[in-house]
Amino acid sequence: MKKEYILRGLACASCAGKIETEISKLDSVQEVSVSAMTSVMALTLREGHTSDFTETVKSIVKKHEPDVVVIDKEAVINDDNREYVNNRIQWQGGWKAKIGQLILGALIFAAGIATEHFYTGNVYTSTILYVASYIVLGGKVVLRALRSIARGQIFDENFLMSAATIGAFAIGEFSEAVTVMLFYQIGEFFQEAAVRKSRKSITDLMDIRPDYACVKRDGGIIKVAPETVSIGELIEIKPGEKIPLDGIIVEGEGMIDTKSLTGESLPRFVKQGDTALSGCVNQNGLLTVKVTKPFGESTAAKIVDLVENAGSKKAQTEKFITRFSRYYTPVVVICAALLAIVPPIIAGGGWSEWINRGLVFLVISCPCALVISIPLGFFGGIGGASRKGILVKGGNYLEALNDLDIIVFDKTGTLTKGVFEVTKIHAAKGYTEAHILEIAAYAESCSNHPIALSIGRAYERTVDKSKLLDYVELAGHGISVKMDGKKILAGSGKLMENEGISCAEAEEIGTKVYVAVDGVYAGCIVISDEIKPDSREAILGLKAKGVRKTVMLTGDNKLTAEKIAKDLSIDMVHAELLPHRKVEILELLDTKKRHKGKLAFVGDGINDAPVLARADIGIAMGGLGSDAAVEAADIVLMNDEPSGLVTALEIAKATRRIVWQNIVFALGVKGIVLLLGAFGFATMWAAVFADVGVALLAVLNSTRAMKMDG
């Protein structure tokens, strides 16, 4: 059983990690992920544990973050709550109050400095002013630290800053203590603002979620929540409005903006009979749409869900940093204590100097720069990809793209347009081309396969299905049916071979549908599928980015498949495959990838779902692909363009570069300042920079991932 909770007001990445760790230890929980970026907790309960889990979650969250409000996502049903959900990942802090606190604290601190330097005889007044400014600036920090200690959670940022600054007061460094707290709070403010801006970028992606639907009921038009609209109802979309639910246009025509789904700014013309996808914007014309999917299964809802839950699948680098931070802080705190106590005991004095060095260690020991910026880097990469019409379901898949070694493509609808046309008809003796087309059209009339539909379009007449008996669809081979008392077979060369029917091999490049009547070859229909304009560019681009081997799998005939593979510079091709053979070949290829290399499969059809799920990285052509393929995939290319793979790879590499820049920079600066502090060369100011300053710079660096063009 899966559950999702909205953690309203959650901003602390470290606290998110602690909440996640504590909940993961519960017997009833199989898997849990808490994202500070999206303020969402996603968890899976073990079998048999289906009771309400909300109160347990609330008690654990309250222990770590008392001000965070826990909301069960399933309970969000009315308009007000839904509107809140759309905006829940925006910054919850009161920035005006924060600025007021900083200004007031700074003014009192300035008065303390002025009193100390210009009224040297009045020591008590300056001390009182320092204490007052410290209370204004750091009072909440100390209170949060005390609450954490009461819960047995010592090593958090509040405790470290409180211990360091109170320690500075204890050794008489009043102004230094207040200075550290002031700059710490200023750094926190800018850091929070940077994270807020990053979240806002992701919130903008959520704008595809419609707020209402205008449904035709009781002879009029009423505005309702999209969740309340049923399949089969008619909705009206005016110019400038978002399409709220997926459906078929039954009246009207116009241009729709699909940028929010595909990343492409070019509007698309739609008319009666065309599909309307939720999340697109109607630019002109009045459209009436018959709803075909409930809101929860609509394109917009699925995309919002994909982006929201992307943070739940963490990259290996994120997991490493989480583990590293658990040990880093306690180790540095122990070193700080030893540095403050051992040298003066051995040397017999100098307590003030060594305690000050120990306090420098305390300030540096918080791993915030890493626990905030690393998830934000991956989150930014996912957001940047989304704006390009590339939906990545988790940081782990974005990271895995960097190690892509073998990429396997389905042919139809992936490398080719999947729009088939009859280009040639061969008729055996005793038959005409028109007769062969008619027989094939009747035989294929009950199938929704693109090839069958192309034959139906070429026939251009209505098929009387009452003439058909004993219709059987032979998976991967073709059709068997009785018509006018005769047994008709229509399908691949394999079907003819299995039935012992000899037929002439057509020389044209394309898919062949062979037709036999009562066990005798009657003719052949050649159907061609056009290669997508950017397929060759995509293959060459992937090879340039380090992909070692490209492979194409298809059920099409060998001659056609080899011609397409040659034109696209694909390294290996397997043709005339039944669906289950694709999985077998994929498993064989999986054994041939390099150490730590990843294998990806790219497909679009319902038959591709098992292969997508089996690959290390399943990539679906989502714009026109089947729901099953999109559901099974790890990455979805909404614009159906293979070149999106190259863009995804570029974004993945840029994201990894940014993440490792942050890791090296943060650990490097902290390491240097720790060494300087141990030898007495680093002040508390340097320590504050190594903590808050480095965190701020790392966060700002991570926001670059949001703006990547690939």
Name the phi and psi angles at 553, rounded to 5: -115, 135
Name the phi and psi angles at 390, rounded to 5: -115, 110
CB 345 within 8 A of CB 672: no
Per-residue confidence (pLDDT) for residue 91, from 0 to 100: 41
Looking at domain 395-415+532-633, its CATH class is alpha beta
Q: What whole-number distance in Å separates Cα of residue 106 and Cα of residue 619? A: 54
- 410 is annotated as an active-site residue: yes
Name the phi and psi angles at 639, rounded to 5: -90, 0
| 359 CB-side CA count, 13 A | 26
Per-residue confidence (pLDDT) for residue 87, from 0 to 100: 41
**CATH numeric code, 230-293:** 2.70.150.10
Structure tokens at 667: 């650990």
Q: What whole-number distance in Å separates Cα of residue 378 and Cα of residue 392? A: 10
Burial class (CB in 10 A: 0-12, 13-18, 19+), 222: exposed
Per-residue confidence (pLDDT) for residue 311, from 0 to 100: 60
Name the phi and psi angles at 321, rounded to 5: -65, -40
pTM value? 0.73
Structure tokens at 84: 């809140």
Could you give the residue ranges of the DSSP H alpha helices within 449-533?
450-459, 493-498
Per-residue confidence (pLDDT) for residue 238, from 0 to 100: 92
DSSP readout, 612-675?
HHHSSEEEEETTTS-HHHHHH-SEEETT--TTHHHHHHHHHHHHHHHHHHHHHHHHHHHHHHHH
CA angle 576, 579, 584 (to 5 degrees): 90
Domain ranges for the chain:
2-75, 95-202+310-379+653-707, 230-293, 395-415+532-633, 417-530
- Measured from the Cβ of residue 583, the count of other Cβ atoms closer than 10 Å reads 17
Looking at domain 2-75, its CATH class is alpha beta
Catalytic residue among 410, 529, 604, 616: 410
CA angle 612, 614, 620 (to 5 degrees): 10
User: Residue 425, SS3?
Assistant: strand
- Measured from the Cβ of residue 327, the count of other Cβ atoms closer than 10 Å reads 10
CATH superfamily of 417-530: Calcium-transporting ATPase, cytoplasmic domain N (3.40.1110.10)
The mean pLDDT values, 10 residues at a time, for the chain of 710 residues are: 80 77 86 78 77 81 83 61 42 67 92 82 82 93 85 75 85 85 82 67 61 89 90 93 92 85 74 88 91 84 68 73 78 88 85 87 77 79 82 88 94 84 91 94 87 90 88 85 92 89 81 92 90 93 95 85 91 86 91 92 78 89 64 83 93 93 90 88 82 82 71
